[in-house]
Structure 1
Amino acid sequence: MKSDGKSESKPEAAKAPVTLTLYLHGAALTDNEFQRFFAEPVKKKFPHITLEFLKDKANGGTDPNELITAGTYPDMLYGSNTAVFAHKDLKWIADLSPYVKKEKVELSRVHPAIVETLGMYADREGEMIGLPFVTNYAALFYNKDIFDKFGVGYPKDLMTWDQIMGLARLLTRTDAGTPYIGLDFTEPDRPGGQLSLPLVEPKTGNSVITSDGWKKIFGLLKQNYDIPGYIGPNNKWTYGLNAFLKDRNLAMLPNWADGVIGPAEEFMLKGQPLNYDIAALPNFEDALGTGREVDMHLLMLCNQSKHKDEAFQVMSYMMSEEIQTIVAKAGRFPVLNLPELEKGFGADLGSLKGKNTAGIFKAKPRNMHDNPNQFDRSIVKPRLNDAAKAVALGQKDINTALRDAQELADKQMADARKAKGN
């Protein structure tokens, strides 16, 4: 099946009924999104196929091992690229390359960085672990009310971090007993992803977070931590989404767009709209115009599925222009490299009306760092967070914090490999 989606979908001829399950594991997808993106259009396109939605423990559902114990295997897996290793451990992922070739799926229409990133997770040449469904962009979200309160000009698209830091210093202050925070990076791997910094060296299996690149990132973080008033009561050193959306005392939040846009829409529907806008993600001067590393949600075919052909039909249909248009209008980022989809982004969301959504797309996703590792997220990232906290609270200098984090990460990875018998 070609995934061009240029014409309206037509129901196929009557076939034997099939029920397929989609298992959400290592990503976010609401019940409403499942119905809108998957269940309803699939039933229209393939009347004989009914989709059921299963969720993992993090989303209030069932752990994968519980499914295995019960002998209940899903047909399709929905997860982020960072969750691929968990699926590999379960031996759930089927190679899609024969299906892609047979059905002539047009991967040339997908953003090249996404296709390249998918290839990084293959265990052998030519293997394809999944089909991309949505991607994500990061952007700078800012609270206009705070800027107006203190008479500071709004951020513009593609500013440097040095310029943004100047705004942060003007906006980190206390007014009428309320502490305002200018900027929160939240976690060091997020700006680190803007330089595609690796976390683990594949040949040695050791972490590489004492590199000059990571020291550069921590130098930027320290500038922010050192602004008078940034560290709050009880050594509060990070603020995040709640401070921006709920407490509304955080002026600027560089964040994954889908993490802000959906919740902001919910606040608007509850009668609590946030007066915010968006600017393209800032970066270091030599990397302007690029955002964070590719972050995508993909669909994988479960090895144990009894309906692989039908499941792949559904998966490839999700890459059609028809479905990708629905996705874009609902405020998710399509994987097809089509400018018209960017122009229609968020058209169905009232909270995005009048917002600089075009700015989001000006900082293009970067290619993933070489050789993503199974321990990047589970071990090394938490140690980076520990190092950031130590620097923020003045407990360690940058070099010491990163060295200690690297040593502990290496020990924990060695222990984990030993436990797995590797």
Structure 2
Amino acid sequence: MNKNYLPWIFGIFYLFLLAATWNDRVDVNASGRTILQFWHTYNDDEEKLLKEVIAEWEAQPANSNWAIRPIRIPFDGHKPKIRTALTVGLGPDFARVDWSFVCELARKNACVDLETFGFSKISDQYLSAPLNTNRIDGKYYGLPDQTTCVALFYNKTIFRDANLDPEKPPKTWDEFIETAKKLTNSEKGTYGFGMDNTLWWTLPFFNTFGAKLISDDGKKCLLDSEAAVKALEFKASLFSVHKIEAGAWRAGAISPESGFVNGRYAMIFMGPWNLPKFTNSKLDFGVALIPAGPAGSSSNVGGTNAVIFKSSKNPRPCYDFLTFFTSAEIQARWCKRLNQMPVNRKSYDLFSFDDKNLQVFMEQLKTSVSNPIVTSYEMLEDVVNPEMEAVITGQKTAADALGNASRKVEAKVLSL
């Protein structure tokens, strides 16, 4: 046989084998239940509770035809993994994803509009900030399953040493400046505040000044608004004018987290994920709401959302499970057991934390504002962060930097 024909023969055999074994039947388990694949990024403790919730949902008579198969994937790299799986037709029925990924998936027509199932009838039970990270071009393409935000951490020992009441953290930005001045001793290398300078960590400043960064229709960048300019001017002044910020945002500097633990920074922004670390370090610290600006106290939002993929042959039971999973009762149990923030506002009436610091985060989430919704949040950060740093270092005015950033965002980010 001519060897030149061998690749063709093997190719035809492969296609025949593929056709013979191809089966578009959805997998079923040994009990005859149809399997719904759920990709998630929960840790060990979270996954254990997730499986308990799944068992409860499956035990309900209305769900007797379905079996949810949870498959854990690493959070780092989950975006490219899901992109690849969807491209080759091997994606799950539904998945837990970072809040910033929903917009890309929605605009690629990869996930289901939840109004297909009448989501508007129950949408008001979710906290608005995490919920609105799922609102893309006027429609909800996911729902929040886990949320967080940042608040003001302060060192009570340093407060006492400065003759300040450790039970009275600053409530407004004016009070914050006056307090931080009393806590700053540059000769000793101690400062009233240590801050990050990425966009996500700057959102509390923008939000407390009432600055909206992207228009509702997603077509215009509003970073050059008067409110946004004032917010960035204020943030920069903490370092350049008032001399109360340590320069923790600079490359090679002591990070806010480390500076707080070692007593160099009296106040920082931080999330609830570091409460155990700070507690174990024997710090005497407190947590307060972000100081209020012209628009009051507000913060950013982090966390994850759950989306249902259009490739799923059974989207309805996926939706039914997710609404069960994020119901007030399940959320209350989940958050009480894992010390996490509820996404369902009705959960607030069903439990409280023993740790009063966690209670502060629950309150902060009530006034948090949804993050800017763009197809690539990573690119948004890449465009905006250098412009903000140029303001803090005195190379540009806030108006010039944000005007430039706004033009770049519209050209590079909003055009995606």
* Partner SS for 1:282: coil
Q: Which one-letter code corresponds to 1:224 in the other structure?
A: L
Give 1:242's aligned residue.
257
Residue identity matched to 1:184: M
CA contact (8 A) 1:118 1:129 kept: no
Alignment partner of 1:265: what SS? helix
Partners of 1:98 and 1:203 lie apart in 2 by 21
Alpha-carbon deviation of 1:247?
Answer: 4.3
Q: Aligned AA for 1:314? A: F
| TM superposition outliers: structure 1 runs of 4+ over 6 Å | none
1:109 pairs with 115, 125, 130, which one?
Answer: 125
Deviations 1:332-359 (A, max 9, x none): 22122237557523x4xxxx3xx34444
* Distance of aligned partners of 1:195 and 1:210 in 2 relative to their CA distance in 1, 3 Å threshold: same
2:100 to 82, 89, 95: 82
TM-aligned CA distance change 1:41 to 1:205, over 3 Å: closer
- Counterpart for residue 33 of structure 1: 46
Determine the structure 2 residue equivalent to 1:313.
320
Q: 2:367 aligns with which of 327, 351, 365?
A: 365
User: Which position in structure 2 is the counterpart of 1:222?
Assistant: 236
**1:212 corresponds to:** 226
* Residue 396 of structure 2: aligned partner: 396
**Structure-2 separation of matches of 1:235 and 1:212:** 26
Q: Does the 8 Å contact 2:128/2:370 carry over to 1?
A: no
Is 1:265 matched with 2:276? yes
Q: Does 1:291 align with 2:298?
A: yes
Unaligned runs of 5+ in 2: 1-29, 60-65
Say if 1:135 and 1:297, in contact at 8 Å, map to a contact too: yes
Q: Which residue of 1 aligns with 2:405?
A: 405
Q: Cα offset for 1:216?
A: 1.0
CA distance in 1, matches of 2:140, 2:95: 14
Residue 196 of structure 1, CA deviation: 4.6
Q: Which runs of 5+ in 1 are unaligned?
A: 1-13
Letter matched to residue 78 of structure 1: R
Give the AA of the match of 2:230.
K
Shift of 1:328: 2.4
Q: Distance in 1 between matches of 2:86 and 2:315?
A: 18
Contact 1:137–1:291, Cα closer than 8 Å, also in 2: no
Query: Does structure 1 residue 332 correspond to structure 2 residue 340?
Result: yes
- 1:213 deviates by 0.7
Would you say the 8 A contact 1:170–1:182 is kept in 2?
A: no
TM-score, with length taken from structure 1: 0.74
> Cα deviation per residue 1:300-350 (whole Å; 9 max; x = unaligned)?
1111124424322321211223311123212222122237557523x4xxx
Query: Alpha-carbon deviation of 1:188?
Result: 2.7
Match of 2:38 in 1: 22
The 8 Å contact of residues 57 and 63 in structure 1, kept in 2 or not, is answered as no
1:304 aligns with 2:319: no
TM-score by length of 2: 0.75
Q: Distance in 2 between matches of 1:45 and 1:340?
A: 22
C-alpha distance in structure 1 between counterparts of 2:360 and 2:176, whole Å:
16
Aligned equivalents of 1:158 and 1:357: distance in 2?
18
Look up the match of 1:191.
205
1:38-81: CA deviation from partner (whole Å, max 9, x where unpaired): 22221243256343234366257862233235532112122344
1:134 and 2:146 matched: yes
Aligned residue for 2:110, secondary structure, equals: coil
Moved more, 306-315 or 405-414: 405-414
Partner of 1:197, secondary structure, is coil
**CA offsets per residue over residues 188-227 of structure 1, 9 Å max, x none?**
3332133452323467934332211111101211221123
2:15 is matched with which residue?
none
Q: Does 1:251 align with 2:263?
A: no
Corresponding position of 1:7 = none
Whether the 8 Å contact between 1:280 and 1:361 is mirrored in structure 2 is no
SS at match of 2:76: helix
**Among the aligned pairs, what percent are the same residue?**
18
- 1:119–1:128 contact (8 Å) kept in structure 2: yes
Distance 1:146 1:29, change over 3 A: farther
Classify the secondary structure of the residue corresponding to 2:386: helix
**Paired letter, 1:254:** F
CA deviation vs aligned residue, 1:68-97 (integer Å, no higher than 9, x gap): 355321121223443211212443211222
Partner Cα separation in structure 1 for residue 300 and residue 397 of structure 2: 27
Q: Which has the larger radius of gyration?
A: 2
Asked if structure 1 preserves the Cα contact closer than 8 Å seen for 2:193 and 2:267, the reply is: yes
* Number of aligned positions between the proteins: 375
Q: Are 2:186 and 1:169 equivalent residues in the alignment?
A: no
Equivalent position SS for 1:182: strand
Code of the residue aligned with 2:32 in structure 1: it is A
Aligned residue number for residue 26 of structure 2: none
Give 2:51's aligned amino acid.
A
CA RMSD of aligned residues (A): 3.7
From 116, 119, 125, give the equivalent of 1:98: 116
Q: Deviations over 1:348-392 (max 9, x none)?
A: xxxx3xx344443444325548x94435x3344433322221122
CA distance in 2, matches of 1:135, 1:158: 25
Q: 1:280 aligns with which of 273, 289, 292?
A: 289
**Aligned equivalents of 1:342 and 1:335: distance in 2?**
13
- SS of the equivalent of 1:251 reads strand
Q: In structure 2, how many angstroms separate the alpha carbons of the residues matched to 1:160 and 1:237?
A: 30
CA contact (8 A) 1:207 1:380 kept: no
**Do the aligned partners of residues 237 and 21 (structure 1) sit closer, same or farther apart at CA in structure 2, a change above 3 Å counting?**
same
CA distance in 1, matches of 2:167, 2:192: 15
CA-CA distance at 1:252 after TM superposition: 1.4
